[in-house]
Amino acid sequence: MGSLVSVSVLKQVLRDSGTIAVVGLSPKDSRPSNQVARYLQGVGYRIIPVNPGQSEILGEQCYPDLLSIPERIDLVDIFRSADQVEPIVRDAIQIRARVVWMQQGVVNQQAATIGEQAGLLVIMDRCIKVDHLQYGCE
């Protein structure tokens, strides 16, 4: 469950996900969330920042939560601690995202189960930038 995703599924997710909401995106260049989002932007993904304390990050309008985003989201990339993931997954279900991606070091099996039972593909404890560098450029 969750992080046990085949390479072919990872490749498909990276190929099919055009719009990515980054929950917990920091405005600070030195933070991993900012570095990953900037990389994803640079390789052509539409990044939508989710951070209630900011109005704009990386030149994009920032939203306080997933439910506030007015456009379709393909993938929700979560940069929050594991204990904060479940409400984000529930919001991802509500907005009908296809994929929830918990960044490296973020594991919440209960949230993953909730997402999977609602039909989401859930990826845990992986870095989307690392996976894109390895699998997304084919």
Structural domain boundaries of the chain? Answer: 7-135
| Amino acid 5: pLDDT | 85
The CATH classification of domain 7-135, taken from the options 3.40.50.720, 3.40.50.300, 3.30.70.100, 3.40.50.1370: 3.40.50.720
Residue found by looking up tokens 């984000």 in the block: 88
Helix (H, G, I), strand (E, B) or coil at 101: strand
pLDDT < 70 regions, the chain: 1-3, 137-138
Which pLDDT does position 4 carry in this prediction?
72
The pTM assigned to this predicted structure is 0.95
What are the tokens at 68?
């506030």
- Amino acid type, 67: L
**Nearest-angstrom CA–CA distance, 23 and 51:** 6
Listed residue (56, 72, 59) closest to 21, CA to CA = 72
Task: Point out which residues pair with 49 in neighbouring strands.
Answer: 22
What is the per-residue pLDDT for 138? Answer: 53
pLDDT digits (tens, 9 = 90+) for 46-61: 999 999 999 999 999 9
Model pLDDT, residue 2? 47
pLDDT score of 90: 98
What value does the CA radius of gyration of the chain take, rounded to a whole number of Å? Answer: 13
pLDDT of residue 24: 97
